[in-house]
C-alpha cells in the first residue's frame, strides 16, 4: 500500500504546448507529433491524458529560432498541446529532448491539473446563447400580447356588429 | 460590489491557451488591467498574471500592442 502511494505521489500532471515550424509540410505534422508523444510515453514512461493536434495560427509577434548558423524568423506556426502524467524525475530528459528538436520553434512545459482547464470557448458560447433566447422570449411575448388584443378586437367588433 | 469573474464562473485554473478570456483583462496596449478595475480576487489575479505571461511567451497574445 505504501509503495503504491509513493508511486502515485512521484507522478505529476504536466502539459507541453509547442509550436512546430511553419516550414514543416502539413502532411508531415503527424510524424512530428508522434515523435513528441513517443518521447513522453515510450522514453519517459508517461501517460497521455488529452491533447490537441497542431493547427496553423498567426503569432502575436515574430519569433526567431536558430538552427545551426541560420536564424529562421516565423510569423505563423502550428500550435498544439499534450497533457500527460509522468514521473517527476523524467521531466528533465523530456525537456532536453524538446530543446534538441530543430522543428519545434518554441515550447512550454508546465505543471497543471487533470481536469479540463479550457473553458473559454464554452463560456463565451454560453454567454452568447444566453443573450439570444432572451430576445426570442421577448418577441414571443409581444406576439402573444398582440394576438390576444386581436382576439379582443374581433370580439368587440362582433359585439358592435350585433348591436 | 461586483463579483470576481473567475469565482462567478467557477474557474479554478486559468489556462494560458484561453486567449479570449485573457483578452478581457487586457487594455488596448495589451497590458494587464488592475484588480481595482476588474474586481478579480487576489488569488485569481495571481493565476491570471501567470497565464498572461505564459500566453505572451507562446505568442498567443502580444507583449505590447499599439
Burial of A13 (0-12, 13-18, 19+ CB in 10 A): middle
What is the pLDDT confidence band of residue A153, given thresholds at 50, 70 and 90? confident
The Cα–Cα gap between A55 and B60 comes to: 13
Nearest CB to A59: which of B14, B15, B59? B59
CATH of domain A2-111: 3.30.70.60
| CA pair distance B20, A122, nearest whole angstrom | 11
Distance CA A21, CA A102 (A): 8
Mean pLDDT of the residues in chain B: 95
CB contact under 8 A, A17 and B58: yes
Residue B62 is predicted with a pLDDT of 97
- At residue A145, the pLDDT reads 56
Closest partner residue to B60 (CB to CB) among A60, A115, A118 is: A60
> Residue B27: what are its φ and ψ, rounded to 5°?
-90, 175
Point out which residues pair with A14 in neighbouring strands: A84, A111
CATH 3.30.720.210 fits B12-57, yes or no: no
3-state SS assignment for residue B62: coil
CB contact under 8 A, B58 and A19: yes
Cell numbers placing A12: 505529476
Contact A79 B56 (CB under 8 A): no
- At B38 the pLDDT is 95
The three cell numbers of residue B52 are 498572461
pLDDT at A154 over 70: yes
At residue B52, does pLDDT exceed 70? yes
Which chain A residue has the Cα nearest residue B23? A120
Q: What is the pLDDT of residues A105-115, one digit of tens each?
A: 999 999 999 99
* Mean pLDDT, range A109-128, rounded to an integer: 86
Q: Which residue has cell 426570442?
A: A136
Give how far A51 is from chain B: nearest CA, Å: 13
Average pLDDT, chain A: 86
Q: Which of A97-101, A147-151, A154-158 has the lowest mean pLDDT?
A: A147-151
- Eight-state DSSP code of residue A27: G
Q: Which of A4-8, B29-33, B46-50 has the lowest mean pLDDT?
A: A4-8
Q: Residue with C-alpha cell 444566453?
A: A130
- Locate the domains of chain B by residue range: 12-57
B4: closest CA among B18, B25, B19? B25
A139 has a pLDDT exceeding 80:
no
pLDDT grade for A121, boundaries at 50, 70 and 90: confident
B56 vs A74: CA distance, rounded Å = 15
pLDDT at res. A119: 87
Mean pLDDT value across residues B11-27: 95
Least confident of A46-60, A111-125, B8-22: A111-125
Q: What is the CA radius of gyration of chain A?
A: 29
Average pLDDT for A87-94: 94
Amino acid at each position: 500500500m505504501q509503495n503504491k502511494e509513493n508511486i502515485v505521489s512521484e507522478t505529476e500532471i504536466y502539459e507541453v504546448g509547442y509550436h512546430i515550424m511553419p516550414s514543416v509540410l502539413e502532411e508531415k505534422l503527424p510524424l512530428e507529433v508522434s515523435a513528441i508523444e513517443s518521447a513522453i510515453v515510450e522514453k519517459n514512461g508517461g501517460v497521455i491524458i488529452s491533447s490537441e493536434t497542431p493547427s496553423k495560427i498567426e503569432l502575436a509577434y515574430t519569433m526567431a529560432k536558430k538552427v545551426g548558423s541560420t536564424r529562421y524568423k516565423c510569423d505563423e506556426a502550428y500550435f498544439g498541446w499534450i497533457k500527460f502524467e509522468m514521473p517527476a524525475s523524467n521531466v528533465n530528459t523530456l525537456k532536453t529532448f524538446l530543446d534538441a528538436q530543430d522543428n519545434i520553434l518554441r515550447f512550454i512545459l508546465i505543471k497543471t491539473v487533470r481536469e479540463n482547464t479550457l473553458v473559454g470557448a464554452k463560456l463565451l458560447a454560453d454567454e452568447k446563447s444566453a443573450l439570444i433566447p432572451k430576445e426570442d422570449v421577448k418577441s414571443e411575448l409581444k406576439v402573444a400580447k398582440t394576438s390576444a388584443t386581436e382576439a379582443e378586437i374581433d370580439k368587440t367588433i362582433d359585439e358592435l356588429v350585433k348591436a | 460590489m461586483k463579483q470576481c469573474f473567475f469565482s462567478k464562473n467557477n474557474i479554478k485554473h486559468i489556462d494560458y491557451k484561453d486567449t479570449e478570456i485573457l483578452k478581457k483583462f487586457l487594455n488596448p496596449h495589451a497590458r494587464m488591467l488592475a484588480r481595482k478595475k476588474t474586481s478579480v480576487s487576489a488569488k485569481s489575479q495571481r493565476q491570471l498574471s501567470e497565464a498572461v505571461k505564459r500566453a505572451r511567451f507562446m505568442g498567443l497574445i502580444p507583449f505590447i500592442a499599439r
